[in-house]
């Protein structure tokens, strides 16, 4: 080929293009690969849920429980949370915790605020029975009484069936009322009581009402 000036043009530098072409193709391939990878990438995983709060430990039978300093507070605590662990607050919860009772009982009791009678349900277990009052006009349910007759049912501060009368009076002080066969303590702000029944100075039954 002859240029307008009459000089012959230099041929293209083919060696340089042969060197650059693979690099250009390699770069393009990497760019496309990164694009496809970003497009097909899975969405980020959601953050892990927060761990559930640790429940407060429930007292265990046989484990020592610190005594309240005030005698009145001791009596109130014994009446409010009689057993260790505490009795559940509904019949359904009690059965879920202890299983089916050995037997049950049911009777009607008058309600001073309604013409409809309430129902008192009693669940009997080995060494213990628990009463639940079902209120007719509200549909509510509350534990209304506990009777303990077995030494393996654990009472707060080890005041179990089988302990000496002196342990009860040393722990709870003088009872509100006393007979030859019983010691009765009363809740400080409500008409609720716990009575320790005695035989020869030993507790044979404990009744909360």
Specify the DSSP class assigned to residue 158: G
Rounded CA separation 56/199 (Å): 38
Q: Which residues of 69-84 are buried (b: 16+ CB within 10 A; e: fewer)?
A: eeeeebbbbbbeebbb
Percent of the chain exceeding pLDDT 70 equals 69
Query: What range defines the domain where residue 205 resides?
Result: 65-84+154-209
Mean pLDDT of the chain: 79
CB 161 within 8 A of CB 205: yes
SS3 for 66? coil
What φ, ψ does residue 15 adopt, rounded to 5°? -65, -40
Which has more confidence, 135 or 48? 135
Has residue 17 been placed in a domain?
no
Q: Of residues 40 and 162, which shows the higher confidence score?
A: 162
Is residue 161 one of the residues assigned to a domain?
yes
Confidence of residue 181 (pLDDT cuts 50, 70, 90): very high
Give residues with Cβ within 8 angstroms of 206, minimum separation 6.
Answer: 146, 147, 148, 155, 159, 161, 194, 195, 196, 197
Query: How far are the Cα atoms of 37, 40, 192 from residue 46, in angstroms, in the given order?
Result: 20, 18, 53
| pLDDT tens profile 59-117 | 665 566 788 889 999 999 999 888 988 888 899 999 999 999 999 999 988 887 778 88
Assigned token pair, 185: 């303590």
The total of other beta-carbon atoms located within 10 Å of residue 116's CB is: 12
**CATH number of the domain to which 173 belongs:** 3.30.1450.10
Is residue 76, in this structure, part of any structural domain at all?
yes
Is 197 contained in some domain? yes
pLDDT at 69: 81
Residue 126 lies inside a defined structural domain of this protein: no
Q: What is the pLDDT of residues 106-153, one digit of tens each?
A: 998 888 777 888 889 999 999 999 999 998 878 788 888 999 999 999
Rg, Å, the chain Cα set: 41
pLDDT given for residue 62 in this prediction: 58
Least confident range of 48-57, 59-68, 191-200: 48-57
pLDDT at 199: 97
Residue 172 pLDDT: 96
- 48 inside domain: no
Task: Work out how many domains the chain is built from and give that number.
Answer: 1
- Is 158 inside any structural domain? yes
Task: Return the percentage of the chain with pLDDT > 90, whole number.
Answer: 48
Decide if 77 is inside a domain: yes
Entry pTM: 0.68
């Amino acid at each position: 080929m002859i240029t307008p000036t009459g000089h012959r043009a230099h041929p293209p530098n083919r060696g340089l293009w042969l060197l650059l072409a693979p690099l250009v193709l390699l770069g393009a391939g990497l760019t496309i690969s990164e694009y496809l990878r970003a497009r097909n990438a899975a969405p980020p995983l959601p953050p892990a849920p927060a761990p559930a709060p640790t429940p407060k430990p429930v007292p265990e039978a046989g484990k020592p429980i610190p005594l309240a300093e005030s005698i009145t507070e001791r009596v109130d605590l014994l009446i409010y949370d009689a057993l260790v662990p505490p009795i559940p607050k509904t019949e359904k919860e009690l059965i879920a915790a202890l299983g089916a009772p050995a037997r049950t009982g049911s009777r009607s009791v008058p309600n001073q605020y309604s013409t409809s009678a309430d129902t008192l349900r009693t669940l009997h277990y080995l060494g213990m029975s628990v009463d639940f009052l079902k209120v007719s006009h509200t549909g509510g349910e509350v534990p209304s009484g506990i009777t303990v007759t077995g030494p393996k049912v654990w009472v707060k501060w080890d005041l179990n069936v089988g302990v000496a009368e002196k342990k009860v009076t040393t722990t709870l002080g003088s009872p509100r009322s006393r007979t030859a066969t019983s010691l009765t303590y009363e809740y400080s702000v409500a008409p609720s009581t716990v009575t320790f029944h005695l035989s020869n100075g030993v507790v044979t039954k404990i009744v909360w009402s």
